[in-house]
């Protein structure tokens, strides 16, 4: 393999998961329902009636799962903390048994030589918070999130140095309250979504301060956002500029205000809405200085320059697509998103999620030869390596996901893991992609 597919010597490799998708133990040791428990237990909301009640049973099997990480040779693990496990009523008493679980997890990771990266909010808001404040309709939810984040930082910050406040604004706002396909399953118009998004952004900014104020030592704080990704249809100055403009406009309501302290006014025009009602200091709070920015990057759109301005190009029906409709094969979007974010903020960057949904049938030998996932990862990692060569300050990569798990509204019907999960026996088995990724982490280059 050509040497130009090597990564910098200090580049870090990891894997990622999320609490509701893997932990199970939904009613053990003081945990109370999240909005996702309520949603998945509602008939017709999740494919096949699947729930996260058991999921991968990571709550009881985390030591086994850490061994899987050791087998991969990764040095980082991104996980999320379940808000209803730590503060079951959202704003009330702390559940020490919940904190104890994450303390055991962190200690086991460190003993294995794996650096923990904790995400405070990966969509599992306590049902009590939703009932009390209307979820993200209510401004108070932002303050409750920050209090909870501070509790986590105080308890774990002596050992967890790297924190992400939230995961993917659009998924727990627009998909949850607009389209209704994620918990809590509301369907409101675009104008009513505006304050929901604003409160979520505020929750991020308040959590940044709460983590720093409560951690017993200096910690690094960022977020994990999945921006809308654009890449030039041709790498010429005019088309690159068109892709940049599409990126800045379409991310002008979520990522851009976090990084710049200002909404892009063109975003409001695009959504045909008016800006949110704000209180003094909101934008300064939303854009609190970050130590790093982490990006979940899967799929993107091509953009071109036209006589009337930048234009995104719709994908044709024949465009290569993986085993979930939204996942197109667009590896260059990873490179260009890193470039465009790097222009907005001069901070270290991470890929906090990138991975592939494949069919993953086992052959007669019981093997999963997921060459489609392997080719996906190879192409996207080449784009990441190109970014490091071109001066982007990319520090590390978290593959999504360690193992097959609860894929939200798709239940267990869609698989993103590099370890195959048998959801009847809960046995984990390495796919071909896991063996390939282990070799990549060893050689620190795309193979």
Note if 353 is an active site residue.
Answer: yes
Query: Left, alpha or beta for 49 (phi > 0: left; psi -120 to 50: alpha)?
Result: left
Please answer whether residues 407 and 416 qualify as being in contact, where contact means their C-beta atoms are separated by less than 8 angstroms: yes
Note if 161 is an active site residue.
Answer: no
Separation CA 120–CA 207 (nearest Å): 9
The token pair at 168 is 């993917």
Element (H, E) at 228: none
Task: Report pLDDT for 353.
Answer: 99
Nearest alpha carbon to residue 220 among 151, 289, 135, 297 = 289
Q: Give 195-225 as a DSSP string.
A: HHHHHHHHHHHHHHHHHHHHSSS--EEEEEE
Task: Report pLDDT for 4.
Answer: 77
Options 23, 127, 186, 353, the catalytic residue = 353
Task: Report pLDDT for 1.
Answer: 38
Please answer whether residues 35 and 373 qualify as being in contact, where contact means their C-beta atoms are separated by less than 8 angstroms: no
Task: Report pLDDT for 3.
Answer: 54
Task: Report pLDDT for 150.
Answer: 99
Separation CA 88–CA 10 (nearest Å): 39
Separation CA 403–CA 55 (nearest Å): 11
Task: Report pLDDT for 198.
Answer: 98
User: Hey, is 354 helix, strand or coil?
Assistant: coil
The token pair at 243 is 């892709």
pLDDT by 10s per residue, the chain, length 447: 345 799 999 999 999 999 999 999 999 999 999 999 999 999 999 999 999 999 999 999 999 999 999 999 999 999 999 999 999 999 999 999 999 999 999 999 999 999 999 999 999 999 999 999 999 999 999 999 999 999 999 999 999 999 999 999 999 999 999 999 999 999 999 999 999 999 999 999 999 999 999 999 999 999 999 999 999 999 999 999 999 999 999 999 999 999 999 999 999 999 999 999 999 999 999 999 999 999 999 999 999 999 999 999 999 999 999 999 999 999 999 999 999 999 999 999 999 999 999 999 999 999 999 999 999 999 999 999 999 999 999 999 999 999 999 999 999 999 999 999 999 999 999 999 999 999 999 999 999
Options 127, 168, 225, 407, the catalytic residue = 168
Residue located via tokens 């930048």 = 310
């Amino acid at each position: 393999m050509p040497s130009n597919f090597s990564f910098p010597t200090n580049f870090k490799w990891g894997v990622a998961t999320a609490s509701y998708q893997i932990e199970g133990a939904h009613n053990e040791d003081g945990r109370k329902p999240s909005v996702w428990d309520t949603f998945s237990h509602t008939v017709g909301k999740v494919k096949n009636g699947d729930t996260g009640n058991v999921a991968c049973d990571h709550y009881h099997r985390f030591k086994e799962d850490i061994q899987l990480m050791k087998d991969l040779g990764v040095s980082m693990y991104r996980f999320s903390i379940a808000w209803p496990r730590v503060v079951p009523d959202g704003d009330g008493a702390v559940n020490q048994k919940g904190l104890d679980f994450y303390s055991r997890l962190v200690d086991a990771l460190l003993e294995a030589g794996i650096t923990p990266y904790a995400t405070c909010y990966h969509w599992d808001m306590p049902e009590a918070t939703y009932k009390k404040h209307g979820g993200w309709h209510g401004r108070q939810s932002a303050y409750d999130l920050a209090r909870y984040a501070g509790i986590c930082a105080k308890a774990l910050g002596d050992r967890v140095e790297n924190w992400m406040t939230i995961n993917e604004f659009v998924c727990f706002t627009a998909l949850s309250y607009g389209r209704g396909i994620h918990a809590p399953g509301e369907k409101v118009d675009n104008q009513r979504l505006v304050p929901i998004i604003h409160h979520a952004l505020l929750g991020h900014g308040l959590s940044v301060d709460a983590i720093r104020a409560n951690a017993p030592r200096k910690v690094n704080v960022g977020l994990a956002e999945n921006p809308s990704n654009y890449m030039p249809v041709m790498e010429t100055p005019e088309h690159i500029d068109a892709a940049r403009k599409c990126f800045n406009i379409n991310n002008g309501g979520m990522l851009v205000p976090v990084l710049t302290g200002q909404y892009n006014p063109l975003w409001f025009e695009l959504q045909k809405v008016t800006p949110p009602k704000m209180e003094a200091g909101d934008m300064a709070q939303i854009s609190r200085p970050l130590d790093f920015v982490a990006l979940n990057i899967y799929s993107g759109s091509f953009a071109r320059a036209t006589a009337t301005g930048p234009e995104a190009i719709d994908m044709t029906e024949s465009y290569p697509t993986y085993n979930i409709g939204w996942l197109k094969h667009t590896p260059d979007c990873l490179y260009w998103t890193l470039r465009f974010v790097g222009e907005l903020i001069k901070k270290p960057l991470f890929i906090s999620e990138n991975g592939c949904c494949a069919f993953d049938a086992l052959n007669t030998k019981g093997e999963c030869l997921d060459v489609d996932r392997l080719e996906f990862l190879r192409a996207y990692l080449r784009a990441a390596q190109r970014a490091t060569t071109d001066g982007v300050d990319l520090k590390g990569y978290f593959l999504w996901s360690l193992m097959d798990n609860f894929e939200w509204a798709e239940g267990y019907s869609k698989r993103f893991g590099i370890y195959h999960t048998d959801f009847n026996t809960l046995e984990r088995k390495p796919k071909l992609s896991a063996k390939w990724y282990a070799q990549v982490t060893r050689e620190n280059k795309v193979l």
